[in-house]
A and B are shown apart, each in its own frame.
Chain A
Amino acid sequence: MRSAIGAHQDLSSAGVLAIIGLAASLAVAGCHDAQAQAAQSEPSSTTASSAAGPAVSVEPRAKLLPTFPCSSCHQHLKPNPEKRELKEFHTVRNKELHHGDSAAWCYQCHSMANIDRLVIARGDLVTFDEAFLLCGSCHGDKLRDWKLAIHGKTMGHWRGDKIKRSCTGCHNPHAPKFPAIEPEAAPWPPTGMKAH
């Protein structure tokens, strides 16, 4: 089991959020057991706050997923480790999977041992709300910038509580390239004439 290899890592959600900007919370963020976190029935809250300073929270993901928890179906199924095209369920996901194209498939990111968790590159299990740890295990440069609020979207207050959008808040994890979207209408030239 790959998940056993990565036990007792210091990379927990509390640790990461402390890096985001709360020196005060560094003291309480010790060495958490990633598996212990994964074993919780409810996904852990990704809010870090302290009495002294404003809170930085990461938008949760799991509660936005219509089919979560995955185990509600998968507990009745035996995991099939064979890389294959899905023809019965998740056919849409299958079709739109454009992530590291030929290499990626379900169990590269989803844990086979616990389908309600994600598995990062070195084997730790993380919750769906901590998807940034999974993304960052390959895209380390982006995770570094995201922790510093250089990459990614931050909402709320520049002075006060902030809400950070996690990777999956903007990128579809199965097709992460930001899609082309319709622009808002163009302004008018000052004369009132339409541009040609």
Chain B
Amino acid sequence: MTGRDDDQHEGGCGDARSQRRDALVQLRLSKHDSRRDFLKGIAVAGAAIAGGAGCADEHFQKHYKELTDEDKRHVFQRIEQETRAKTGVRVKISDPQPLDGVQFAYALDLSLCNGNRRCAEACARENNLPDEPRFRYIQVLQMERGTVDLERGEHYYEPEKVPQPGKVYLPVQCHHCEKPACIKVCPVGATWREPDGIVVVDYDWCIGCRYCMAACPYFGRRFNFAEPAIRPNRINPEQGYLSNRLRRAGVVEKCTFCLQRTRTGRYPACLEACPTGARKFGDLSDPESEIRVMLERKRVFVLKEDLGTIPRFYYFYT
């Protein structure tokens, strides 16, 4: 099933939208413009809106931060129903809240990473990234040994085996900065930093201007240029409202440290998939957490420290 097929689904939002659009286009192009035609057009457009009641709900939906628990229940129900109608998959939308006093951070051992991209693939499955087009939250840069030259990093490499001799690998994903440039530039406040340090996007509030993508110095964000197409049997039904629920064309998305997993105490999917054990994750505010123990014993660095973004994503060598 492709995204375009989904649009044709009877009663779906895409259907109502396209009817409304067609009606308005006809209206504009009409050579015999008259009040009657105009009213007819409005009637069609109005019917289209009325036909897709869910779409109207969505249209008047408030920003995530303004939603009451009651609103959330309605919104989650609507999303579950829409997803069911669109893909046939029964999903569960949840909204795990930040844990008290927890500050998430991530670390990556560059002496172990061999560029196998298992992390990126596991992330795609966990977070319902589309089969087509194929983009990934985690971009693994292949660089010449002895350099950490991000600008010359190659992430489309496709050798038979990794690691290639003379190459080093550096995975980059959202760094969940303490001072994120992406948030400052968002004109509508559709992206913000949660109390536990996770930078999230409200996909229903994002207008798709991509200012955040231009502002991010780490290429941490991805844009749905096309309607994302995902095979129903690959959809992860455990979905977080602010993380891995299905997105649509025209919105920005990114790594959320798998908040639907991590806020329930589990590790992110990328960490569990890494065959070399290069990835570390934990709570910065807990002095006995793995990440703190590592930070106290190893020399770490962050990317583009001079920009003052204060990433929560550390790299180290052992």
Contacts and interface: CB of A to CB of B under 8 A. Distances in A.
B159 interface: yes
Majority SS of interface residues in chain A? loop
B275 interface: yes
B114 A178 contact: yes
Interface in B269-293: 272, 274-277, 280-283, 288-290, 293
Nearest to A21: B288
Contact of A180 (B121, B162, B318): B162
A160 interface: yes
A123 interface: no
A188 B161 contact: no
Contacts of A182: 116, 160-162
B298 to A, nearest CB: 7
Interface in A140-196: 145, 148-160, 165, 170, 178, 180-190, 192, 195
Nearest to B282: A158
A158 B290 contact: yes
A150 B294 contact: yes
B277 A157 contact: no
Contacts of B156: 186-187, 189, 195
Interface residues on A, range: 20 to 34
Given A150-B318, A187-B135, A170 B114 contact: no
Interface stretch (B6-14, B234-242, B260-268, B306-314): B260-268
Nearest to B295: A150
B157 interface: yes
A50 to B, nearest CB: 14
Contacts of B274: 153
A187 B116 contact: no
A74 to B, nearest CB: 32
A192 B133 contact: yes
B158 interface: yes
B68 to A, nearest CB: 29
Contacts of B282: 158
A170 B275 contact: yes
A151 B114 contact: no
Contacts of A183: 115-117, 157-159, 161-162
A148 B158 contact: no
B118 interface: yes
B134 A154 contact: no
Interface string B126-146: 000000011110010000000
B163 interface: yes
B265 A150 contact: no
Contacts of A186: 117, 155-158
Contacts of B281: 158
A184 B161 contact: no
Contacts of B163: 180
A159 B293 CA distance: 15
Contacts of A152: 277
Kindly name the residue among A157, A158, A170, A195 whose own CB sees the greatest number of chain B CB atoms within 10 A.
A158
A148 B133 CA distance: 40
Contacts of A188: 133-135
A182 B116 CA distance: 7
Interface in B165-187: none
Contact of A153 (B114, B133, B277): B277
Contacts of B265: 157-160
Contact of B134 (A150, A151, A187): A187
A187 to B, nearest CB: 5
A72 to B, nearest CB: 31
Report which residue of A148, A154, A165, A192 has the largest number of chain B beta carbons within 10 angstroms of its beta carbon: A154
Contacts of A192: 133, 225-226
A148 B162 CA distance: 28
Contact of B266 (A21, A145, A157): A157
Interface string A27-64: 00000000000000000000000000000000000000
A178 B133 contact: no
B297 interface: yes
20 contacts: A149-B294, A151-B277, A151-B318, A153-B274, A154-B277, A156-B267, A158-B282, A158-B283, A170-B275, A170-B277, A180-B114, A181-B162, A182-B116, A184-B120, A185-B158, A186-B117, A187-B120, A187-B134, A187-B135, A192-B226
What are the nearest 7 A-B pairs in CB distance?
A153-B277, A195-B156, A184-B117, A180-B161, A159-B265, A184-B121, A149-B290
Interface of A: 21, 145, 148-160, 165, 170, 178, 180-190, 192, 195
Interface of B: 99, 109, 114-118, 120-121, 133-136, 139, 155-163, 223, 225-226, 262, 265-267, 272, 274-277, 280-283, 288-290, 293-294, 297-298, 318
